[in-house]
């Protein structure tokens, strides 16, 4: 498995088949769940999938989304939105 990127507090290695939970995404982006849902509704961020009662995203999808916007760089360096 190849490493996609480094995210703060993410289990290592962060791989393409990993999933990202809503609470972790909020922590990594330093945004509230309300802000995250506004972004989803506006189409700024992809809509999540359901896993039981949890909202999840494929890690590869979030890594690609973040790379396109310059939000997360390898090494965990984060740019503000």
Provide the residue-wise pLDDT of the chain in tens; the chain has 81 residues. 444 455 555 555 555 568 889 998 898 888 999 999 999 999 999 999 998 999 999 988 988 898 888 875 444 444 444
- Cα–Cα separations (whole angstroms), residue 49 to 38, 40, 42, 55, 59: 16, 12, 17, 6, 12
pTM: 0.66
Q: Contact 66/74 with Cβ under 8 angstroms? A: no
State both tokens at 77.
């360096």
> Position of tokens 């890594």?
63
């Amino acid at each position: 498995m190849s490493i996609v990127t480094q995210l703060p507090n993410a289990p290592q290695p962060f791989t393409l088949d990993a999933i990202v939970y809503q609470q972790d995404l909020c922590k990594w982006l330093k945004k509230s769940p309300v802000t995250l849902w506004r972004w989803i509704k506006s189409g700024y961020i992809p809509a999540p999938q359901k896993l039981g009662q949890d909202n999840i995203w494929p890690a590869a999808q979030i890594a690609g989304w973040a790379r396109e916007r310059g939000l997360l760089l390898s090494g965990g360096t984060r740019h503000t939105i």
